[in-house]
Chain A
């Protein structure tokens, strides 16, 4: 597409489509399609074909369907929204397979509700972060925010659609999305789910209708709550409604409901009371931000939460009592009585609850405070039986502790992804991440207590001594700086000289002081060790020997370090092997784990870099290093990770690491590494070690150079 500015001809387009859609094998008909694309203006052509090419790398059928539907979509939507729709379809494909993805493509109309002309929609992906922070800032339970089919909440997670495109302007669409999120928040904050809605609504002949009327009543009440709590937001919500022509005089009966429900102190039970009367009349049209009410989705989550939080609170209170007893051993051993009273203020926000223990006010720790808030939101108060500290052994810890599933169990039973961490992966063909693509688990290397460590130390005893000396020289040292313009002490030599100078008639120096300068090493380093099958044999031995020598050196130096091995087979089984955690001492067990490192499967690298980057960002250090020990290119079994895809994903992951202030470095023994490593790490951030046997010596030397300021 070199001839910029001119429309592409149908033949030209057909040729491109034939190639991308592999018409030779797929027998797709592209002539007609090419003809319709040829009629589009050039920017639309480039846009559309660009996406077809990108999608085709994921799946040809989706690309084909996309091309057919997008031509119509171009008339309605701006490029931004169409791109989001394409990505949404590919995410669906990753998650659920071809059929749902094709459905997502065909659902363009559903994807963008109410879009009639080119609108500037906002995407969940872009605004989710801001809205989550926004919701976090509002008071109440810690809520989650997710993309969902409809606007609703299950009282723990707020669901917003992938795109909000009902308004013309992007700013207004953002305001609408914010209004939706705030309205859902208001449902949890102002107690919509405090009543047993499924039962109450089932009492009506037509529960669906009752739900619609109830929703409308609650909307009146919650609007008033938002108006009192967040007047600025309420004004904006009213403006959106006005722009959409939603503000119309309410029926007479509804005006009366409004008066009752907007009163301070109105609760969900007032809405239910009025429902009897309202059920008989007409329901006012829905409000743009009200979304759906899903009492069923709430009910199951709610009952589980109530039970869990009661147990959790009682256990935590028991712990609290124990801690307080430890501080004041003289206090009487009689059972402690907790009380939770609302603060003095009217309509007190839940966080102003005052907790007292035997009439003494105490400041609850953050987790207890959040529990209290959450329970109060569900029940309106803290019932006394919630405040009785649990007796030791009353509850099975399994009921309230989050379980850590054994990563190996997962593979013995039916496959599931419980307890794993998900990482995205960069798809260079799609030019976008595949969401939650890698299923990552941390595992322990089984320690092997053998003679490997002492043998290694004996074998390299000369080197170990040399390394200790070299690294000792690097350690924190206080240097005395002389002839400084200011300092703690007078530098007598300098002073004598200066006085002699002064006698002499020459200028007197003002550098007359001494100062001690402390140089502090503040380094955290993460070693990422290749445990793929190809390291079998002497590479593995060399790696383990290198790690032993490194540890010996780093112990002398006092730098904080961690060692993780990585390996995996397919994206569903990405494994990181803990060898030494950053805060773990270099103990006998760590040595035994190093000795126990065995070659595993393949070299998928992106997830490992991403996870270790994440671990490093949680550590406070001036310099953070991520050093990879590898024997070859990124590679994996049978899912296309081999070759360019794997290299590009690894490169992306390294860029992410760099953006978080981490310096990645690679030490490899792959003689061909010069072909691809500069692309991954940059020209200077890697070293190829020619002789595997020299790896132990080289790596310590490399480390010394790297951290030398």
Chain B
């Protein structure tokens, strides 16, 4: 595929992304969208939250604007700011303002990473007012009827600093995501990477082993995404044990002893 530059609000998902529903999340999302309710996706990293958003964007045929939040993300980064061009100041919309104007889906990934004061700018958008106050312009932007706000959040990091405020979370319809059940996960890994089903099953077993280690040395077990990475490596001819090491073990920890134990676990399986 050739690289091409698009304005964010022109980014439509054109081909159907591969997504396996684990419950009634599609129906709930659609109902929330029809009722103009914002959506909160909860779940560990790499379990399919972003893929779900792409899939829903394709289904409801709206452009998808994704913002990955980081701890330096300010309100201006979302709403917009004045820039200087040839001695004049020019207003430039941020991704949130663009979505609100164009009626796109704005997906704020890992919202808790953003600064606390940033989160409050989405509040008026996330209740029945559906407006975006643009302080610096002195205007109030009413949302396009097709606009949709979605945020994601990983409750796994048990830290006071990384918790979502009640005033924020109580505005959203929450969808809980988790790693898919073993059978479904096997299907996903096989389908995404092209490895055979027996190998995918072993990879899923390995993932369960690492998830058993959560809390005893690991912050998080291997995600479905990592399994797909490992499976892709194996499909290209890498030995399964090395693939597990490079694509999974090294990705989730730096601890030498933990890496050694994970090597033993993977070599037990393959």
A-to-B contact residues, CB < 8 Å: 129-131, 133-134, 136-139, 178, 182, 230-233, 236, 343-345, 349, 351-352, 363, 366, 488-490, 495, 499, 502, 512, 516, 518, 522, 620
How many Å lie between the Cα of A488 and that of B241 in the bound state? Answer: 49
Interface residues of A: mostly helix, strand, loop or mixed?
helix
Determine whether the beta carbon of B267 is less than 8 Å from that of A233.
yes
Residues in A neighbouring B84, C-beta threshold 8 A: 490, 495, 512
Determine whether the beta carbon of A138 is less than 8 Å from that of B212.
yes
- Known A-B contacts A137-B213, A137-B261; the reply to A230 vs B268 at CB < 8 A is yes
Residues in A neighbouring B269, C-beta threshold 8 A: 230-233
Residues in A neighbouring B89, C-beta threshold 8 A: 490, 495
Residues in B neighbouring A489, C-beta threshold 8 A: 76, 81-82, 136
Q: B74 at the A/B interface (Cβ < 8 Å)?
A: yes
CB within 8 Å of A: which of B221-270? 241, 257-258, 260-262, 264-270
Determine whether the beta carbon of A139 is less than 8 Å from that of B182.
no
The chain A residue with its CB closest to the CB of B260 is A130
Closest 6 CB pairs of A and B: A133-B261, A233-B268, A137-B209, A488-B76, A230-B268, A137-B265
Residues in B neighbouring A232, C-beta threshold 8 A: 241, 266-270
Q: How far is the CB of B254 from chain A (nearest CB, A)?
A: 14
Q: B161 at the A/B interface (Cβ < 8 Å)?
A: yes
Interface residues as binary, B115-158 with A (CB distance below 8 Å gives 1, 0 otherwise): 10000000000000000000010000000000000000000000
Residues in B neighbouring A620, C-beta threshold 8 A: 159, 161
A-B contact pairs, 28 of them (CB 8 A): A130-B257, A131-B261, A133-B216, A133-B257, A133-B258, A133-B261, A134-B265, A136-B217, A138-B209, A138-B265, A231-B270, A232-B241, A232-B266, A232-B269, A232-B270, A236-B267, A236-B268, A343-B181, A343-B182, A344-B183, A349-B208, A351-B208, A352-B181, A366-B215, A488-B75, A488-B81, A490-B82, A512-B84
Q: How far is the CB of B1 from chain A (nearest CB, A)?
A: 31
The number of chain B residues with a CB under 8 A from chain A is 38
Determine whether the beta carbon of A518 is less than 8 Å from that of B267.
no
Residues in A neighbouring B241, C-beta threshold 8 A: 232
Q: Which of B115, B159, B161, B208 contacts A139 (CB 8 A)?
A: B208
Q: How far is the CB of B71 from chain A (nearest CB, A)?
A: 9
Q: How far is the CB of B37 from chain A (nearest CB, A)?
A: 20
Determine whether the beta carbon of A133 is less than 8 Å from that of B136.
no
CB within 8 Å of A: which of B91-122? 115
How many Å lie between the Cα of A387 and that of B136 in the bound state? Answer: 60
Determine whether the beta carbon of B212 is less than 8 Å from that of A488.
no
Determine whether the beta carbon of B216 is less than 8 Å from that of A136.
yes
How many Å lie between the Cα of A366 and that of B216 in the bound state? Answer: 13
Determine whether the beta carbon of A345 is less than 8 Å from that of B209.
no
Determine whether the beta carbon of A134 is less than 8 Å from that of B264.
yes
- Known A-B contacts A137-B213, A502-B87; the reply to A130 vs B264 at CB < 8 A is yes
Determine whether the beta carbon of B87 is less than 8 Å from that of A136.
no
Q: B66 at the A/B interface (Cβ < 8 Å)?
A: no
Q: B45 at the A/B interface (Cβ < 8 Å)?
A: no
Determine whether the beta carbon of B264 is less than 8 Å from that of A136.
no
Determine whether the beta carbon of A352 is less than 8 Å from that of B261.
no
Residues in B neighbouring A230, C-beta threshold 8 A: 268-269
Determine whether the beta carbon of A345 is less than 8 Å from that of B183.
yes
Determine whether the beta carbon of A182 is less than 8 Å from that of B268.
yes
Q: How far is the CB of B85 from chain A (nearest CB, A)?
A: 11
Q: How far is the CB of B70 from chain A (nearest CB, A)?
A: 14
Q: Which of B182, B258, B265 contacts A352 (CB 8 A)?
A: B182
The chain A residue with its CB closest to the CB of B216 is A136
The chain A residue with its CB closest to the CB of B206 is A137
Residues in B neighbouring A363, C-beta threshold 8 A: 178
How many Å lie between the Cα of A130 and that of B217 in the bound state? Answer: 11
The chain A residue with its CB closest to the CB of B215 is A366
How many Å lie between the Cα of A352 and that of B270 in the bound state? Answer: 22
Q: How far is the CB of B260 from chain A (nearest CB, A)?
A: 5
Q: Which of A133, A231, A344 contacts B217 (CB 8 A)?
A: A133
Q: How far is the CB of A373 from chain B (nearest CB, A)?
A: 10
Q: Which of A130, A351, A366, A488 contacts B74 (CB 8 A)?
A: A488
How many Å lie between the Cα of A130 and that of B209 in the bound state? Answer: 14
Q: How far is the CB of A559 from chain B (nearest CB, A)?
A: 14
Residues in A neighbouring B260, C-beta threshold 8 A: 130
The chain A residue with its CB closest to the CB of B82 is A490
The chain B residue with its CB closest to the CB of A348 is B182
Residues in A neighbouring B75, C-beta threshold 8 A: 488
